[in-house]
Chain A
Amino acid sequence: MHDILVDLSRLQFAFTALIHFIFVPLTIGLSFLLVIMEAVYVITGKEIYREMTQFWGKLFGINFAMGVATGLTMEFQFGTNWAYYSHYVGDIFGVPLAIEGMMAFFLESTFVGLFFVGWKRLSKYQHLLVTFLVAIGSNMSALWILIANGWMQNPVGAVFNPETMRMELNSFADLIFNPVAQAKFVHTVSAGYTVGSVFVLAISAWYLLRGKHIEFAKRSFAVAAGFGLAAIMSAIILGDESGYTVGDVQKAKLAAIEAEWETAPAPASFTLFGLPDQEKMKTDYAIRIPWLLGLIATRSVDEQVKGLKDIIADNELRIQRGIKAWSALQQLRANKHDTAASQQLKKYQKDLGYGLLMHGYADDIAKATPEQIHQAALHSVPRVAPLFFTFRLMVVCGFLILALFLTTAWSVYRNNFMHKRWLLYSALLSLPLPWMAAELGWFVAEYGRQPWTISGILPTSLSTSSLSAASVQASLGGFVIFYAALTAVEMYLMVKYARKGPAALHEH
């Protein structure tokens, strides 16, 4: 079952995507903080807010460069390493990516240079508009990328075409109004705003602790505390759990996150902690809170949350139907006038992807044995333990950040934060938290989608290019070396310029 090429391709994608997402949320969040600071400058005319915009803008620039560099990899990689995926769903998946380029990335990239060099060439209002367009561009970029990603989780608005042997778009509206994409978008940009706020908060706290740049740090701290509180609250409340009730694979993901082996009577209890055992399909030492899961997941008291055992049983049936679809498809591709095959394909078409799951379990999908089908069904849901723990860790990070912003926003309101050293230390030490939460969140979203790249449509094991494992090994090595070196340089410059503080404005 374990195909080394598939494993390496996944590892490379996971590595490059997770590194990319170190830089992206900071761009998303910091760009809006820059807009806020500059707007205050334009409205009040206070020079210190211009200095704040320029200083945090400098750190923004150091980060932005890496976002651009690592983002290019993402666009290349669907073609270089996931060629069958690109063929099979490019007709749908490519559309939001192309629109992202036209509508968002162009805007952001064209104006970002003007943010830096335009201060003397533009009026105050024009410059504020430029900063705003950079922020809008980066946020719209997130929207289209998440529409693409949301489609991988819940592929709506598309239909299989046996002649071209791929999925084709039939409803653009379904694609963009996909509830999963909407939930992901608000959750992800809120997480980005949180990252930006904690970044500004932590560095300002550090200045305050060292008694440097007081006026500057005080104001930055206050802006970050206010924006951050709103951001983390919306990230938590608009958690994308609400998107887990639509789409079959989302349901399996939810059940795995919650270690929900059996379908419990509604409303289900929430497993706060425990040790999931995949083999025995049960959770040891579970601590459960009655009702909570049902409420979170279904926003109701009478809807059930389906358990993994039932999902697996359903999937076994779907695989059997999928095999029929596959056989019909093979006949149809051999003779496109075979009407019996065409009818059979129509009948079982929506389970075709489940038939493809047999790839790797049976040499000839059409002749799969019941035992092979059973094995494939057992692996048709993600592994529970990694999801169970990473999700909880993400939530812990989220609540720690919430606590941080509640206390800081309160002391900003009371205007006594400068003297609370414990609070300033907590703000400084919280710096890694939002990044941890963001990376864990992506792990949950993408690992939780396994064994699919496109939920219910295309298994991961079929999605790769026909490359040799050695060439992916070599490229993965290259990525690790390049990314490690460039990230180290970026961090070094970030620390160097953060240390200099606003004085850095008067040099390069």
Chain B
Amino acid sequence: MSLAPKLRAPPPGRPEPPQDLPRRLEALLRLAFPLVSTALVLILSATPSGLPALAFALAMPSIAFWTVFRPAGMAPPMVFVLGLLLDFLTMAPLGVHIIALLALHGAAMRLRFWLARQGFIVVWLCFCVGALGATLLTWGFTALLLLSLPPWPPIFHTLLLATGFYPPIAILLSRAHEAMRRAENAP
């Protein structure tokens, strides 16, 4: 089973589509979709009544997925913006989530070509390792900034949530990615 959308190079010799306004707008929307959808999910998941670890756990699968399969839609500045939003939404010390998400993004970027060819289970396992690294990074920087050891359970819960959320999020996002790919390849 491979949920990873196949990276296919566009057939050579296709004429460049005309750059009229609706098409440009569409391309811009497609470019902004990963950032905007992730930001919306973050805002909705950080409701005051919800789980405090939820927002970070939802951010990691989304960022990892888009980095691997649509890197143009999840460039480092966008990850930075999402991390900043997350820092403001959760009451974490400023910058902690930015570093963690950028590290996750960097790792995914490095392994992107290899990961895109692997099956779903391998990608999931790699994501788990990456999420572990990111949560540990959050914990370490929080400890450094607050000069005290934060409790372990929230980190653990975040990791479990992120691991569990990856498959459904990946299924949803690969549908969206496939749709956008079809639209891009349409003559």
Q: Do A and B bind each other?
A: no
